[in-house]
Amino acid sequence: MVTIITMKAVAELLNEMRDAGVIADYALFGAAAQMRYTEAVATLDADMLVAVAAQERLDVLAPLYEFCARKGYRSEGEAVRVGAWPVQFIPVFSPLAEAALKEADTTDFEGAPLRVVRADYLAVLALSVGRAKDFARVLALIESGSVLPERIMELAGRHGLSDAWLRFKTRFLDE
């Protein structure tokens, strides 16, 4: 299956980057990570949350793209194509994203370790973005039993998103 082979290659690439010191850490998040917890969802790419080393450069992702180019992977816009899958590197952008990365689980993917953001953090990250597809992600994670609403409420409160959670809960969960 192309997706499995590609995700294994993605995991190997990210682990190489970490081992080489290009990044400090990484975790799969977004729709591709959601598939660990729910049924398959449509997505065009794999989003990788990355912690980059402190740098003097304005383009903090340049070392990642340079590393990928040396390994024979080509850039396509904001992504790097690994097999059939575009991989988008997203630097840690908030204390919530930093916590999600720190608390990510490591799973074995076809023999390669792969770090994946936990379901509770996926839900709260989606809640923080607030698009329709993000709300659908939160609902899917709750409906699959991957995360309890109480855990989302707790984590949302810790990261200043209590109001966003209450609006979501009122709109989608209170009947």
Of 14 and 55, the structure prediction assigns the larger pLDDT to: 14
Taking the C-alpha atoms of residue 62 and residue 99, their distance in angstroms, rounded to an integer, is: 24
Please give the Cα distance from 89 to 79 (Å, whole number).
Answer: 7
The pTM is what?
0.92
Q: State how far the Cα of 95 lies from the Cα of 76, in Å rounded to an integer.
A: 29
Q: What is the pLDDT of residue 82?
A: 94
What would the pLDDT profile of 101-118 be if each residue is shown by its tens digit?
999 999 998 899 999 999
Instruction: List the domains of the chain with CATH numbers.
Output: 2-117 (3.30.460.40), 120-173 (no CATH)
